[in-house]
Chains A and B, each alone.
Chain A
Amino acid sequence: SQTNKKKDRHFYFPQIMSLFRSDRMGYYSIVMPRESSWEILNELGTLDSLQFVDLNSHETAFNRPYSHYVKRCEDMEGKIAAVELEMKKFNKYIERCDDPKLFMKNLKEFLDTRNKAEHTYFEEAENDLDQRVDALNEQIKTYDTLIEKYNHLVEYKQVLTKTRSYIGESGFKAQNVAEGLGGDEAPIDYVASKDIKFHYLAGVIDKAESVRFRRILFRVTRGMTWTSLIDIERPEELSDDKKGDENTLMKTTTEEFKSKTVFLVVYQGGSHDMMKAKLNKLCDSFGASKYGIPEDPVQFNKKLSEIDNDIRQASNIVQVTRNQIENILDQFGTPRGRTTYSYIEELRLFTLKEKVIYHNLNQLKLQNTIYHGYAWCPAEQANKVKDTLNTLKQVKSHIAGVEFTEADYKSQKLTPPTHLRLNDFSRPFQEIVNTYGVPRYREANPGLFTIATFPFLFGVMFGDIGHGALLAIFGAYLCLANDSIAKDKTSLMNSLLPARYLLLLQGIFACYCGFIYNDMSSVPLNLFGTCYPGKNPERSSLDCVYPFGVDPVWYGMENELAFMNSLKMKLAIILGVIHMTFGILLKGVNAIHFKSCIDFVFEFIPMITFMSLTFGYMVVLVFLKWSLPWN
């Protein structure tokens, strides 16, 4: 029991000084049978205590045992991302899950009701997702085809209505065309002869291509045609009174909306076969669709009403298909059972979890039917891991033969990873320190001291009561309203939330230093009665000293800058030298902790000597100079 006591004391100190030094890590070897490996890793994953060492790092990604599982997970993730994209297109809301522990709890409850081995749920989920995604894709394909058909009909109607003005109410006859062309638009000298027959070609082309179309048409036909291009308005361009009756082109799910133009080409008869063939070829090469216009006015109106009917039918079918798609997407959007987040979110988190499990399984070494692995674990949590494994063995009796024993890492010359337990307050400061370099294992962690020194140095540089107070108020607002801001996903403050304590401390220190510099938005405050009152400042009494901060009389004086600059520079130097000396002292503490005599004698002692004999001496001189009277 004597040795036990010593061991307990060993583990007692790290818990108190947890941010000063990284946690003590243990190196453990895990041995487990192959069949239960998934279950065991599933349990261990919830503890958040282990980091496996990659024993298969020499293998390529394809040769690892579970690589095709990982690929399947990635495929699922791809499909889930595609579904989320479609949901966004159709404006379906996805409820996200912020708490992983809640997710794991709900998942466990659900899997318990299944009465089957837990790791088989992966296949079930995969198949279910595949089925739904296939159905969704089919529906979307049909939807797109239907929209194309609908657009076709709408274009036809547009062609008919827009060319009507050129055709005239009494039909498409050569005479009328010529008369319609009359006036300043007459491109040809029309000879009223009944032998000349006009032919036409009408259709729809992309607006972007219409200019080129006209040009190439002119060249191919040597100018023997007359073209008219009329734009089809986009839905937003329609004037309000027309919005109800005009049918507009719909957008498919895949393509961008392209503006279209109606074209009408009129050419003379005679060698019309060749001309027609040429024009047809040209339209094909541009991807323009052609539509026939009935010549007879009665036929024309009949066609128009036919198309109206067709449009109505088509739009109904389109709506029906759209409803079906929305149904499928709704199924993805609604939560399952008693969970509060969408099914698709659950699938996403589940896939992520599976991927992590298989990724870790890939790092173990297989010998016959036994998996062998090494893991790092913080020493305090080792018992927790052992207990979890024991309870797992009791609850699920088919899992046998799991061993979790301590191994020796010093002989293999491995360095343990640095594990620091951080919370929302200490995390931003540790992040700042980490950008300079992550502390070594069990080294003194500057992050602890940064909590105070970083905002303080910021305050020294900022030094303004007014703006410092504003910053402090803003920081306080972020801290107090943290929950409500986090809930609102679209808020702009979301990105500032992790740094809220940092901002608050910076604001407080800035305000404090503002009082010391006596600078409120560059104007001093006279809080305690200045020692040099009156227009021609005379010292009120011989031993009057402004109690806190710089005397407000300095403001506006001739030698204000000379004094203030000198003061602030010297303050900065003093603070800096103290800070740097403290750093060197930490180095000495490290040398003592790691019991490195060389580091202590040959690094720490010389550093502290040089520092104090040069900069330390300078600081002493500064204080001396300040304290001695000048006259």
Chain B
Amino acid sequence: MEFTTFGVDDGYVEAMARGFRSSFLTEDIYTNLRNAKDITEFKLVLEDTDYFPYISNEPPNIPVSLLRAKLKRKLADEFEYLQAQAVGDLAEFLRLVSCKYMIDNVVNVIEGIKNKIEPDILLANIDPLGYFPEIKNMKIVDADDYGTLYSTVLIDTPVGPYFMKFLEDVIGEGNQNISMHEIQALFKDLKPETIRTSLKKMWLEDFFAFCEKNLSDVSQDFMLDLLNFEADFKTIQIIYNSIGNKDFASAANRSATRKRLCPALGYLYPDCEKELNKCSNIEELREAVKGISNYHELLKEAPDPSKREEFGPQTKSLDDMMYEEELKKYSLAFEEQAQYGVFYAYLKLKEQEIRNIVWLAEMNTRKLPKNNAGWKKYLVPFRF
């Protein structure tokens, strides 16, 4: 049924997204990038691809940060085009997707203001996918004054509702009548990472609710599966990070934080919640996730977080494993027609490609020997 009516509103946008698919880099190009002698040749290989108009005007020895900015700019332009052409549910869908990047930007700016980084550098480093006009005005507020930040700048932005909920959570955690000073103290203690995780959790739950309510069955099949997987991995990530972390020495503190930060969705929720909260080392974590699909095998490879000091550039971190697993799912999204998953998958796969290119560019500039394991550390989309 979807096939007959999907094209009415969303046909053009889907066609554009599938057209963008052909601009992905293939294995051959990755091989050429690996074999490039220096950054000039690296850039020449890239100029042969779809990225040509964005990097052709730059000098041959382009710095990696500028390269990354240009690649992201191309992705942002394409995404903006899709957003501009979308109507109805799809427009809302894409808007919610871009909210996630806005959250990232907001937290980065907050962190930057806290660390007294120059506002110009801050603005140059924001993700263009999550650009909103008010982001320029964030610097007028002091770093810790989240209340004012919300009420003056963020209130009109899409990030606003999430921020408001977050503030309510933070303030409402104690008693009812706490003074202004205590609120300030609370804010001072807040680490930007915590803000980021909380905001992302709220966003994920919101997005999930939207997908459940508004999307067609076909879209839901894909999106809900994906969001559940993402939520699961967020949970695992949080537990993983809190293992062996000296901030969370006491079990009670640990479980409280975990409960607050873990999203209320995913295949692991609510069945495995209790066991996950009790985990204190990696073995217990592996046991706790045993029930769900192939999480056990995935975590088998994961390095032990209590031995964090032994990590090097070639160890496969949990992030890498998650990317690999997700990559398979995203690549499969393009096989199904008439569903919104293609847009989400396209965005994520393109981001993975940019990560690959930037990683290889870094390896290139550092002139590491070619037998270094880091050279193979990229994941090619659509290989599956």
Q: Give the interface of A toward B (CB within 8 A).
A: 62, 209, 212, 215-216, 219-220, 278, 281-282, 285-287
Contact = CB atoms under 8 A, between A and B. Distances in A.
Nearest to B44: A62
A281 B140 CA distance: 6
Given A62-B41, A220-B152, A212 B140 contact: no
A579 B142 CA distance: 85
Contact of A282 (B41, B140, B151): B140
Contact of B139 (A212, A278, A285, A287): A285
Contacts of A215: 156
Interface of B: 41, 44, 119, 133-134, 136-140, 151-153, 155-156
A216 B153 contact: yes
Contacts of B137: 216, 282, 285-286
Nearest to B155: A219
B183 to A, nearest CB: 18
A209 B132 CA distance: 12
B139 A281 contact: yes
Contact of A212 (B41, B44, B134, B138): B134
A219 B151 contact: yes
Given A62-B44, A282-B140, A216 B152 contact: yes
A278 B41 CA distance: 49
Nearest to A279: B140
Contacts, number: 30
Contacts of B153: 216
Contacts of B41: 62
Contact of B136 (A62, A220, A278, A285): A285
A220 B140 contact: yes
A598 B372 CA distance: 61
**Chain B interface mostly:** helix
26 contacts: A62-B41, A62-B44, A212-B133, A212-B134, A212-B156, A215-B156, A216-B134, A216-B137, A216-B152, A216-B153, A219-B151, A219-B152, A219-B155, A220-B140, A220-B152, A278-B140, A281-B139, A281-B140, A282-B137, A282-B140, A285-B137, A285-B138, A285-B140, A286-B136, A286-B137, A287-B136
A283 to B, nearest CB: 10
A462 B136 CA distance: 65
Kindly list the 5 A-B residue pairs having the minimum CB-CB distance in the complex, ordered from nearest: A219-B152, A281-B140, A285-B137, A220-B152, A285-B136
A69 to B, nearest CB: 15
A536 B99 CA distance: 82
A561 to B, nearest CB: 38
B284 to A, nearest CB: 49
A437 B146 CA distance: 69
A390 to B, nearest CB: 42
A212 B138 CA distance: 13
Nearest to B156: A215
A267 to B, nearest CB: 16
A39 B153 CA distance: 69
A282 B134 CA distance: 11
Nearest to A278: B140
A202 to B, nearest CB: 19
Contacts of A282: 137, 140
A216 B151 CA distance: 9
A74 to B, nearest CB: 10
A2 B152 CA distance: 102
B136 to A, nearest CB: 5
A209 B140 contact: no
Contacts of B155: 219
Contacts of A220: 140, 152
A206 to B, nearest CB: 11
Given A219-B155, A281-B139, A285-B139, 6 more contacts: A212-B156, A216-B134, A216-B137, A216-B153, A220-B140, A278-B140
Nearest to A217: B152
A215 B136 CA distance: 15
Contacts of B139: 281, 285
Contacts of B119: 285
A274 to B, nearest CB: 12
A278 B151 CA distance: 15
A286 B136 CA distance: 7
A282 B44 CA distance: 43
B204 to A, nearest CB: 29
B151 A209 contact: no
A19 B134 CA distance: 69
A281 to B, nearest CB: 4
A276 B156 CA distance: 24
Nearest to A218: B152
Nearest to B141: A220
B133 A209 contact: yes
Nearest to B119: A285
Contacts of B138: 285
Contacts of A216: 134, 137, 152-153
A446 B135 CA distance: 66
A216 B136 CA distance: 12
A282 B151 CA distance: 15
A107 to B, nearest CB: 29
Contacts of A285: 119, 136-140
A31 B154 CA distance: 74
A287 B136 CA distance: 9
A287 B151 CA distance: 21
Nearest to A212: B133
A278 B138 CA distance: 12
Contacts of B151: 219
A281 B119 CA distance: 12
A215 B154 CA distance: 12
A286 B41 CA distance: 40
Contacts of A278: 140
Residue of A220, A278, A281 with most chain B CB atoms under a 10 A cut-off: A220
A278 B152 CA distance: 12
Contacts of B134: 212, 216
B248 to A, nearest CB: 38
